[in-house]
Chain A
C-alpha cells in the first residue's frame, strides 16, 4: 500500500486523513487531542482508521505545539546577544498602545528578561559598512557566562544586520563552537528585512521554542520509526508549504500557524482545478471564523505575524498565510449585557460546550441557535453519536437572551435564535469585508468557499448578506484542514530589504538579487526534495518615493523597469482607486518563493459519494429560514447519496459527518465534478 497522510493537531481534536493511492480511497479519523503526548494523538488516530505507519509513504503534519509553547511561555531558558546600546529593543518594542484608553494597558513581557540580554561591541552602518568590528574576545567571555547560566538557547540579533549579516554569522559560528549543546539562532537567518525590534523579536522567539520543538520533532520521528515507518515526514509551515524536520528544527517559528492553513491550501487546489479565479476561503469552527483570499490559485502571505494578537502580542517576521480571524464560532456564547445582545468572543468551547451537547453548558451558543431553529438535526449530529438537546437549547435562549431583551418567551424563541445567527453573520461579514476592502477588492467578484464545522451552515446567508452570487462547499468540510494539507507543496520563502529608485536598469538589479536568492533556496530545497521540479515566484516590494507603505508586485525574467512600474501603478489603482501616474517609484524589498511539488492525491477521488440516480430526501423538516424569516418545510438529504450532476432547488439541507449545509428558498444547488456542492444565489449575479 502507498498511503499519503495528513494530520492536523488542534486544540480540541486531532484529525487524520489517509489517502490510499492504489485503491483511490480516502479515510478520515478524528479523536480528542492528547495534550501531553501529541505524537500519540496522531498514532492512535491512525490506528482508528486502520493505517499502519509502515504503509505510509508520506506523512504531513500540522501542529499547535509551536504557538502553544509561545502562548503558554513554556519554552527554553534563553539568552540574547545584541549590539551595545540596544539590549532593551526587545523590552521597549515599538511602544504603541493599541488599546489606547485602558489606563493600565501594558505590553507583554519580553521572552528574554533583561539580565539574560547581553551586549557586545560591534556596529554595522545603515549602508552595511562595518563601523565597529565584532569584539570576539568579549564574545568568548559571553559564551562562558552563558554556560555558567546554563542557558539552553541563544538568539543573536545585531542592529543593521539586514544590510550586512557578516557579524551575526561570525557570532553564531563562534557560539555554536563554544556551546555545542546549546540551540543558537540569528535574526538574519530568519529575516533579512529591516526593523530591529521585529527581527530581534523573531530571533528571540525562534530561540525560545527551538529546543522544545527539536525534542518534539525528534520524538515524533522516533515514535514513527518504532512502528516501522519508512516514509517521509514533513511539517506544515505557516506559508502553506511543507518543511522537512531538519528545516523545521532550524526555524520552528515557520510553523507558528501550522494547523489552520491546511484548509486554505486545499481551497487553492480546488480553485485551480475548478477554474475559479477569485475565492474567499471561509473556515468556521468552534471558537473562531477565519477567511483568506485565494486569487489565481494563490493565497497571500503576510510578512508580520503577532503571537497572541496585535493588541497584546509580539511580532514575528515569518511568512504566514494572510488570514483575518474573528471570534465568532459555533461555540460563541450569546448573552445580554446592559440590554445589548453580544455574540462571542466568549466561547463555550468543547468544555462545557453548547447547551444542546448536554455536557454542562448553560449559556446558549450559536450552535444552540442553529439547533433551536432545526437547522442542525437533533439526532443526526456526528451521525447520531451525539444526540442534541433541542428543548434545553430553546429554554436557554428564552432565559438568557429573549427575556432580558424584552421578548415574549417561548412564542418568540425562533425570532431570538434567528437574531443571534444574524448578528453572528454580521460579525463574520465584517471580517470578510475587512479582507476584501482593505485589499481593494470587490467582495461580489468572489466565490465563497466554505468549510469547517460551521462554514456550510452559515456561508449561504453570509453570501446573501455580502451579495456574493456563488458558494462552493468542498467534500469533507469538517475535515478539510487535514485534507487540504495533503495538497501542499514543499515551499521556502525569503524576503529582504533592498532600496533603490525604480528607474533605468533597476529591473536588472532586481532580477540579479532574485536570481541569487532563488539559487540559494533551490539548493536548500533540492537537498531534501531531490526529485521534484521547482517553481519559483518573485515579488518586488514597491512604493511611491516618500510614501510609507508598500505594495507587492510579481515580476519575472521577462520584465523591464517600465513593465514593473506599470504593474505597480495598476495594482495601486486597483487597491486604492486612484493613482498618480507621474510619481517616482522606489524598490524597498524583494520576496522570493521557491516551491517543489510533493505527491498529492487525485483530487477527484477525495469525495465519498456513494449515491446514483435520483436520491430521495431522508426527511422533510420544518426549518427556520433566515431569508424568509419563517419556518418552511425543508427536504433533508444525506450528502453522500447525491451523485455528481445532481441538481435541486432550495430550501434544502445536506447532512454529512461533521457538517451541515443549509440552503435557503432562493438558492439552488448542483453537485460538481469533484463532489463539491455549488450553491447559486438567485438575484446576486
Chain B
C-alpha cells in the first residue's frame, strides 16, 4: 500500500513525462501538421492497454482512446511476451483505430524483465503522417472515396524495430507508399525518438520507486479521477436528455442530410452517451470506426464537461459508457471509407453538449461554427516545379452563453492549441497573396448575448493552383438557444479575374488561374436569448466596433440610432 504523499509525487512525475516528450516532438517534426497543427498526442498506457496519462497539448480528438486501442490490438496479436524492450510497433489499421489512415500510433514496451510480469506498460505516440498514399495528395482530403483501400496503405500492428534493430523492410514499405517520403521519415524519426526517450524517463521512475509502488500510485490516481468525474456527473439530475442536429451530406450524395440524434442517460452510476440514433454508415468518406468515432466524440464532450483540467486517463473514462451499434457513421465497418473521419465530430460533440444543456442550461453555450471548414490550396511552384500545399482548417465563431457573448474566432471544438499559420509565412512559401483576414461582421447569431464572429479571408493567386473545400454545417447552421438566432454558415467563393460572377464551393474543388480569388467566409456562433433584450449599450458598442452592422442592429436588435 502506497502512502498518499508518495503517490502524489509519483503521479506528478509520471504525468510530466508525456509533456516533456510533447515539446521535443514539436521541435523535431518536419511537417507543419505536427509542429504547428499539433496533430499528435503522447501518452503512457499500462501493460493491459489502459491509459495512465496523456500530454496536455496535442489535439482533443486523440484523448479518445487512440493509444489504448492500438496497444490492445498489439497485445492480442503478439501477447505480452511477444513485445520486448527495443520493439517499436506501428498501426493505423482502420478496423482497430477507426480514424483516417494518416493517424499512425507508435508504441514501445517499458519492461523490467522479459516475462509477462516484467511488462510495466508502453510509451505511445499517435501522429498524423502527411501522406500514406491513396487517391489524393495528403490521403485524407477527398470528398469522394468509397472504400478504405482508396485512402492509403494500412499498417496493421507491425514492428518497425525489433529488439532495438530497425526492420529495413518496413522502412522500404513506408518510403514507397508516401508522396512525401522526406517529411514522413522526418516525422517518423521524431516519433521514434519520443517513444524511446519517454521509455527511458519512465524507466528511471521505476528504478527510483519500484514498479509496484508506481502501479499503486497509478491505481489510486485512476480511482480519484473516476470519483472526481462521478462527483461532476452527480451535479446533473438523473434522467435522459436528447438533442438533434444533422450533417449536410456524406460527401457523395450531396442532397441527403445525415441525422445526428443523441441521447444522454444520466444515473447515479455514471453517464451513457447513446448514439444509436445517428445516421447510417455513408458511402463517402465521412465515416469513422467505433473507437475513432463514437467513443472519441463521447469522451471529448464528456471531458469538456466533467474533467477539463486533468490529463486524460483511464479512470476518468470509467463512468462514461458509449452506445453505438455497428453500421452507423461513427461505427463504420473496417473497409468503409473514412478519410474524413474527423469532419463530423465537431457537430456530434456540439450535439452531445446541447443534450446536456437540457439538464444544466447555464453550463452549455449555443452551437459553434461546428466544422473544420477545411480548405487546401495545392499546385506546382514556378521555379523548380516542386509541389506546395497549404491546408487550413478555418477558425470561426463559438456560441453565446446565458451570461456572456460567444468567444472566438477559434477552430472547432475538437481542435486544441492549433496555431494559425502567419500570413507572412504563407506568402513566403506559396504563390498567392492574402488581401485580408478580418472578422466577419454580422456572422455571430443575434441574441441577448451575441454569438462569436467568423472570419473573411481573401487569397489572390499569383500562380495557378487547385483549391479544395470540405465545409460542413451549411444546412444546419450553428444553433441559437433560448430565443437567440443562428450564426452564419461558411463557404468559399471563387471570383475569376475579370469576371463579374462567382461560384460557391462547399464540398468540392476548383482550378484557379493567376489573378483569380478565393474568398473564404467562416461561420459564426449561435446567439443566446432574445436579441431585443440585448443591452442597448452593448448593441451600440458592437456597431461602433463593426462587429454588427448598423443595418443588422436595426433589423435584428430593434436598435434605433437615437440610442
Interface residues of A (CB under 8 A from B): 84-89, 91-107, 113-115, 125-126, 131, 159-160, 162, 194-197, 338-341, 405-406, 415-416, 419-420, 422-423, 426-427, 430, 433-434, 437-438, 499, 544, 546-549, 575-578, 580
Look across to chain A and name the residue whose beta carbon is closest to the beta carbon of B432: A126
- Does B417 interact with chain A (Cβ within 8 Å)? yes
User: Could you tell me the distance between the alpha carbons of A86 and B407 in the complex, rounded to whole angstroms?
Assistant: 20
Contact status A577-B60, CB under 8 Å: no
Contact B13 A430 (CB under 8 A): yes
> Chain A binding site: helix, strand, loop or mixed by DSSP?
loop
CB of B60 within 8 A of CB of A100, answer yes
Q: For the complex, is B16 an interface residue (Cβ under 8 Å from A)?
A: yes
Shortest beta-carbon distance from B316 to chain A in Å: 11
List the 3 closest A-B pairs by CB distance, nearest first: A85-B436, A419-B5, A100-B416
In the assembled complex, the CB of B320 is this many whole angstroms from the nearest CB of chain A, namely 14
Chain A residues with CB under 8 Å of B411's CB are 95, 97
Chain B residue with Cβ nearest A405: B4
Question: CB within 8 Å of A: which of B1-34?
Answer: 3-6, 8-9, 12-13, 16, 20, 23-24, 26-32
Say yes or no: A546 contacts B182, CB within 8 Å: yes
Q: A91-B439, A102-B308, A159-B423 are in contact. Are A578 and B189 (CB under 8 A)?
A: yes
Measured CA separation A197–B425 after assembly (Å): 11
Decide yes or no whether B227 CB sits under 8 A from chain A. yes
Given contacts A86-B436, A94-B420, A426-B13, contact A434 B428 (CB under 8 A): no
Q: B74 at the A/B interface (Cβ < 8 Å)?
A: no
Who on chain B is nearest to A584 by CB? Answer: B182
- Identify 20 residue pairs between A and B in the complex whose beta-carbon atoms are under 8 Å apart, listed by A's number: A96-B418, A97-B411, A101-B304, A101-B307, A103-B304, A159-B424, A194-B425, A195-B424, A338-B227, A341-B4, A405-B4, A423-B12, A430-B13, A434-B20, A437-B24, A438-B27, A547-B29, A547-B30, A549-B29, A577-B197
- Interchain CB contact under 8 A, A88 and B438: yes
User: Are B224 and A340 in contact, CB atoms less than 8 angstroms apart?
Assistant: yes
Residues in A with CB closer than 8 Å to B163 are: none
Contact B5 A114 (CB under 8 A): no
Q: How far is the CA of A499 from the CA of B36 in the complex (A)?
A: 19
Q: Which residues of chain A are within 8 angstroms of B551 by Cβ–Cβ distance?
A: none
Count contacts between A and B, CB distance < 8 Å. Answer: 184
Q: Are B423 and A97 in contact (CB under 8 A)?
A: no
- For A405, the chain B residues whose CB sits under 8 A away are 4-5
Is the beta-carbon distance between B224 and A85 smaller than 8 angstroms?
A: no
A86 to B228, CA, bound (A): 45
**Closest chain A residue, CB of each to CB of B223:** A339
Most buried by B among A97, A115, A405, A422: A97
Q: Assess whether B422 is interfacial by the CB under 8 Å rule.
A: yes
From known contacts A103-B308, A340-B224, A341-B5, infer whether A430 and B12 are also in contact, taking CB-CB under 8 Å: yes
With A86-B437, A546-B30, A577-B193 known as contacts, the answer to whether A195 contacts B425 (CB < 8 A) is yes
* Contact call A125/B433, Cβ cutoff below 8 A: yes
Interface pair A95/B395, CB less than 8 Å apart? yes
The complex places the Cα of A103 from the Cα of B26 at a distance, in Å, of: 25
Please give the distance in Å from A83's CB to the nearest CB on chain B: 9
Rounded to whole Å, the gap between the CB of B423 and the closest CB of chain A is 6
Indicate whether B534 reaches chain A with its CB closer than 8 angstroms. Answer: no
Task: Determine if B437 and A544 form an interchain contact, defined as CB atoms under 8 angstroms apart.
Answer: no
Identity of the chain B residue whose Cβ is nearest the Cβ of A545 in the assembled complex: B182
Interfacial chain B residues near A159, Cβ < 8 Å: 423-424
Report A-chain residues with C-beta under 8 Å of the C-beta of B20. Answer: 433-434, 437-438
> Could you list which residues of chain B lie within 8 angstroms of chain A, going by C-beta atoms?
3-6, 8-9, 12-13, 16, 20, 23-24, 26-32, 35-36, 59-60, 182-183, 186, 189, 193, 197, 224, 227-228, 231, 303-305, 307-309, 353, 364-365, 395, 401, 407, 409-411, 415-420, 422-425, 427-428, 433-439, 455, 458, 544-547
B386 CB, nearest partner CB in chain A, Å:
10
B153 to A: closest C-beta gap in Å: 22
Contact partner, A423, options B9, B59, B423, B455, Cβ 8 Å: B9
Note all chain A residues with C-beta closer than 8 A to B227. 338
Residue of A nearest to B457 (CB): A85
Which chain A positions have C-beta within 8 A of B395? 92, 95
A97 to B427, CA, bound (A): 24
Which residues of the partner chain A approach B547 to less than 8 Å between Cβ atoms? 114
* CA gap between A547 and B9 in the complex, in Å: 37
B416/A97 in contact, CB under 8 A:
yes
Closest to B307 in A: A101
CA distance A196 to B416 in the complex (A): 22
Within 8 Å by CB of A548, from B36, B224, B439, lies B36
A549 contacts B28, C-beta separation under 8 Å: yes
Shortest Cβ distance from A156 into chain B, in angstroms? 16
* Cβ 8 A contact of B24, one of A126, A419, A438, A580: A438
Residues from chain A with a CB closer than 8 A to the CB of B8 are: 340-341, 423
Known: A97-B410, A546-B186, A547-B186. A196 touches B365 (CB 8 A): no
In the assembled complex, the Cα of A578 lies from the Cα of B27 at a distance in Å of 13
A426:B12 contact, CB within 8 angstroms: yes
Contact A96 to B419, CB < 8 A, known contacts A85-B437, A423-B5, A438-B23 = yes
> Could you say which of A196, A422, A434 contacts B424, with CB atoms under 8 Å apart?
A196
* Contact B12–A548 (Cβ < 8 Å): no
Q: Which residues of chain B are near A88, meaning CB under 8 Å?
A: 437-439, 455
Q: Which residues of B lie under 8 Å from residue A437 when comparing CB positions?
A: 20, 24
Report the minimum CB–CB distance from A467 to chain B (whole Å). 9
Report which of B24, B428, B433, B435 forms a contact with A576, defined as CB distance below 8 A: B24
